[in-house]
Amino acid sequence: MDNWGIIFALVGAALATILAGIGSIKGVGMATEAGMGVLSEDPSKFGKMLVLELLPGTQGLYGFIVTVMMLTGIGVLGGSMDIVWWKGLLYLGASLPIGIGGWLSGIAQGRAAVAGISLVAKRPGEFSKALVSTTLVEIYALLAFLVSLLSVVAINGI
């Protein structure tokens, strides 16, 4: 079958968005649940809660960006969709860092955000510490994103 390249590439594009999206869904969901509990007691903390709740959502965005880059490279968003099998496998491999990294870091960042929300609930003046601690997980999401993005750019140039 001469369509294996496009099949592999489309599976990779789907994995980048789906797996990173799952991480963000779980992370944002956990943080939002904790944040709503705090807001039920003190609605004035909405801004601080919102920031901590949103942080785990970046992984899904990173996965989406990689997917768009892949779809552009393989011709789905304009151009020829004639991809050889080995190039499709390269795209599939390029999707894994942000897919798996986004999935795991989204959940981990959600847990860190929940802890930060608990800290801010008791000590509102400690928001910056909660924010910095939650952002530490973001570094690894960014590394996974960069590996995938740079890989896709390189594959597009082949």
Cα separation, 119 vs 104, in Å, equals 23
pLDDT of residue 78: 80
pLDDT of residue 79: 76
Closest CA to 97 of 134, 153, 142: 142
pLDDT of residue 1: 53
pLDDT of residue 140: 96
pLDDT of residue 65: 98
Domain harbouring 130, CATH code = 1.20.120.610
- Which two three-digit tokens encode residue 95? 């999707």
Domain that holds residue 109: 4-156
- Which two three-digit tokens encode residue 54? 């949103």
Q: How many domains does the chain have?
A: 1
Question: Which residues fall within 8 angstroms of residue 92, CB to CB, at 6 or more apart?
Answer: 8, 9, 11, 12, 15
Per-block mean pLDDT, blocks of 10 residues, the chain (158 long): 88 98 98 97 96 97 98 88 92 98 98 98 96 96 98 94
